[in-house]
Structure 1
Amino acid sequence: MVEHIVLIKFSQKTTSEQKEELIRKTLLLKEIIPGILDIQQGKNFSNRSQGYEVGLTVRFKDRASLENYGPHPAHQEIVSYLKEIGLEDSIIVDFDIK
């Protein structure tokens, strides 16, 4: 299995409603993209976040599923929406689950 972690930082113009819409749309990917075993996303409440406001974890069946996820049209729609609402930065970590 593979764990995919994403931390997202937004511009100041991004609204709370847009962040909620992002979360709603992202969670639907489990029903659309093959190989996703679990997907969780939510707003960060830690004061140690360094400005990253939303966290995402996606657990995949294997590396091939992760590789399919990136270019998948449904995922690319999320990426486009992120850019549209004011993505400022992201940190991405992928690792094999032992």
Structure 2
Amino acid sequence: MAVAHIILLKAKPETTEEIAQEVLKDVAGLKDALPDVIESVHLGANFSTRSRGYTHGFTMIFKDRAALDQYATAPEHVKVIHERIRPHFDDTLAFDYDVTEYSNPRLH
């Protein structure tokens, strides 16, 4: 069953939008670095007034929980967290779920 991995990021006050976009590009690059693990990446800057201070976010789709587990320990992922996300974002919120069979469109 496909798994969705949602991450919300809260930019530090000194983090410019230009820097935030560069970090998001690095996150997007994980799809190319781990093509057999990550099925898709969708990301961007928040425009909602209900974001509770979260400024950016991304969603990744994985084939299954085993792929998500593999991603969690992949050196490429760990490097992006430590070298790119943590220096520029104060807080993160993760939300992972199994994609239900009645999702539309249905994911494999």
TM-score, length basis structure 1 = 0.93
Identity %: 35
1:2 corresponds to which residue? Answer: 3
1:59 corresponds to which residue? Answer: 61
Query: 1:3–1:57: 8 Å Cα contact kept in structure 2?
Result: yes
2:11 is matched by which residue type in structure 1?
F
Residue 13 of structure 2 aligns to a residue in which SS? coil
Aligned positions, number: 97
Distance 1:32 1:88 in 2: 25
1:4 is matched by which residue type in structure 2?
H
The answer to whether 1:12 aligns with 2:21 is no
Bigger CA radius of gyration: 2
1:89 corresponds to which residue? Answer: 91
2:60 is matched by which residue type in structure 1?
V
Offset of residue 84 of structure 1: 1.8
Residue 92 of structure 2 aligns to a residue in which SS? strand
Q: Deviations over 1:55-76 (max 9, x none)?
A: 1100000101000111111111
Query: 1:30–1:37: 8 Å Cα contact kept in structure 2?
Result: yes
Query: 1:40–1:57: 8 Å Cα contact kept in structure 2?
Result: yes
1:27 corresponds to which residue? Answer: 28
Residue 20 of structure 1 aligns to a residue in which SS? helix
Question: Gapped runs of 5+ residues in structure 1?
Answer: none
| C-alpha RMSD of the superposition | 1.0
